[in-house]
Amino acid sequence: MRYFLDCEFNGYRGELISMALAADDGAELYLARPRLRKLDPWVEKNVEPIVTLDDACPEVCEVFSSRIQAFLTGDPFPVIIADWPDDIRYFCECLITGPGQMVKSGPVIQFEVRRVDAYPSQLAGAVQHNALWDARALRALFIKPKGANRRLPPGVHCP
């Protein structure tokens, strides 16, 4: 199954703030950490006000790892699609649980980076720079609603 991924982080190469996966079948996972002490000014203005905090996530990757593992359980061939390489990097960091250890998953995890813009989005209520809404908007680019004859951006193909 395909999972559309988005992450929010504290500026260039900054700490992970939130992560979301939106699956082909409609299942969703949203993870967010408590507010960081020092935020990049752009992140403080555009991301932090719309993050839904999860007070159970003080050690981001430790908690995120177990939740990602549970979310992907049963899928032997997950395909993770993001629109930016850093999203894949943060996701992979959360897959690592210790030296030489990673979350339990199927034998293959495939990653794709698709350089597309998910906004403006036709999704009612969409809020840009919220990881869950951004993952949903990315998914909407690739999933054609039943009965719709929707055009994708140039160079984007929906298998």
Q: Which CATH fold topology does 2-142 show?
A: Nucleotidyltransferase; domain 5 (3.30.420)
Which element (helix H / strand E) includes 6? strand 2-9
Q: In this model, does residue 79 exceed pLDDT 90?
A: yes
Please state, in angstroms and rounded to a whole number, the distance separating the CA atoms of residues 47 and 104.
31
Crossing angle for the helix pair 60-72 and 85-95, nearest 10 degrees? 90
Instruction: Express as a percent the part of the chain with pLDDT over 90.
Output: 40
Neighbours of 118 (CB within 10 A): 23
Lowest mean pLDDT among 31-35, 115-119, 149-153: 149-153
Nearest-angstrom CA–CA distance, 125 and 9: 22
Find the mean pLDDT for residues 32-44.
74
pLDDT at res. 152: 42
Q: What does the mean pLDDT of the chain come to? A: 81
- For the four alpha carbons of 6, 80, 71 and 28, in that order, the dihedral sign comes to positive
Give percent of the chain above pLDDT 70.
80
Q: What does the alpha-carbon distance between residue 142 and residue 80 come to, in Å, rounded to a whole number?
A: 13
Q: Is 74 exposed, middle or buried (0-12, 13-18, 19+ CB in 10 A)?
A: exposed
Q: What is the pLDDT of residue 20?
A: 94
Q: Is the pLDDT of residue 62 over 80?
A: no
In whole angstroms, what separates CA 29 from the centre of its chain? Answer: 8
Q: What is the pLDDT of residue 57?
A: 45
Count Cα atoms within 13 angstroms, Cβ side, for 55: 0
Q: What's the pLDDT at 85?
A: 96
pLDDT higher at 118 or 22 = 22
pLDDT band at 48 (very low <50, low <70, confident <90, very high): confident
For residue 36, pLDDT over 70 is answered with no
Integer Cα distance of 50 and 30 in angstroms = 13
Give dist(CA 135, CA 20) in Å, integer: 6
pLDDT digits (tens, 9 = 90+) for 20-29: 999 999 999 9
Report domain extents, the chain. Answer: 2-142
Average pLDDT over residues 99-112: 89
